[in-house]
Amino acid sequence: MTPEELERHADLIQRAKVLSVASEQYFKAAHAIELGETEEVRYRYIKSAKESIEEAFPEIFQARHPTPKYVIKEENDHKLAKTIAIVILILGILYSFVKFGPTGDLTKTWSADDIPKATAYPK
């Protein structure tokens, strides 16, 4: 056998041994369930078996290199400020119509006697 084949052979034998240990741990966990052992004992057997399986197949359980995180820059959204500015502008225009325009005069105090004088067609 070539050195690569010998290395692969040794690796496979090692994996088989580790998996047999994991299998024994699972059998012990099943036996603990049959005997009514505590949850801690069962958990210990199952955890040991899972660790053995992770040891047998490190290429599956090891964390791969995380993908680089791309930072997405959010542009400042001034939507609220723009909305408030538009509302203030509209209210300002309406106020200027009322204050200076043909809709009324806010500088004087109106009374009930002034209403007939201000109508378009007085009697």
pLDDT tens-digit series, residues 17-46: 888 989 999 999 999 989 888 889 889 998
Nearest CA-CA partner of 18 in 58, 68, 55, 64: 55
pTM (2 d.p.): 0.47
CA dist 16 and 10 (Å) reads 10
pLDDT beyond 80 at 117: no
* DSSP helix, strand, coil percent of the chain (3-state; round to 5): 65, 0, 35
CA dist 67 and 59 (Å) reads 17
CA dist 27 and 33 (Å) reads 10
Which of 5-14, 60-69, 101-110 has the least mean pLDDT?
101-110
